[in-house]
Amino acid sequence: MLLVVISMGCNPPRHLLKCYLQIGKGIMLGEIMTIFRLRMASDGAGGSTLVAFYGCPLQCRYCANWICHDEDTERKYYSLENLVSILSQDDIYFKTTGGGIVFGGGEPLLSAEFIHEVCKLADPLWKRRIETSLYADWERINLLVGDVDEWFVDIKDLQPKIYTQYAGKDDDIVLPNLKNASGRYEFE
């Protein structure tokens, strides 16, 4: 399912930016701002745990999560196993309410590779959702197409000039990404 929201709430080249660490072969650490358990019906149906990642390529004027840009904030790193272990504490809750994991941020697509690995380890009965601006290279979005059940897309604005004024970047990749993604999911 793909839900599109046009809202204004809420630099390195984008294809180089990433917000996880790869330490040696097969060891990844996610750079995570917060893990917010026991959320009810705030990120899709059922109960969920929000996993919010650091970093965002946009600079929205009224950024609701400014801390994701703050390089001085003390960083917390989670291994894949550590994160899945935390998520597993709410296994019954997820399964009985139809909820699961919500990947947010910041911009979680900067951590697409890490999220892809989390999804491989996560219980297949947990819902997987993502909250994103779709401001990322298509390869990262495509990597998660098979992993994520529901996408909450915040488009900011449909007028290019206003988008740029508000988000600090051109919207050149956002609508093509949305068009590509919409071919893979049901729209709501």
Binding site for ligand SF4 (CB under 6 A): 10, 56, 58-60, 63-65, 68, 105-107, 133
Helix ranges, the chain (H): 80-88, 91-97, 112-121, 138-145, 160-167, 174-182
What's the half-sphere exposure (Cβ side, CA atoms, 13 Å) at 47?
14
DSSP assignment of 93-134 equals HHHHHT-EEEEESS-GGGGHHHHHHHHHHS-TTSEEEEEE--
Q: Toward ligand SF4, which CB reaches closer, 44 or 106? A: 106
Question: Residue 33 Cβ, how far from ligand SF4 at the closest point, in Å?
Answer: 10
Nearer to ligand SF4, 128 or 169 (CB): 169
When the beta carbons of 68 and 102 are compared against ligand SF4, the nearer one is 68
Shorter beta-carbon distance to ligand SF4: residue 36 or 88:
36
For the bound state, the minimum distance from the C-beta of residue 56 to ligand SF4, rounded and expressed in Å, comes to: 3
6-182-93 Cα angle (round to 5): 80
Between 120 and 160, whose beta carbon lies closer to ligand SF4? 160
Minimum distance of ligand SF4 from residue 125's CB (angstroms)? 29
The one-character DSSP state at 187 is B
The residue number whose beta carbon is nearest to ligand SF4 equals 10
Report the C-alpha gap between 183 and 188 in whole angstroms: 13
Shortest Å, Cβ 57 to ligand SF4: 8
Whole-number Å distance between alpha carbons of 155 and 133? 6
CB of 167 to ligand SF4, least distance (A): 6
52 phi, psi to nearest 5 deg: -105, 125
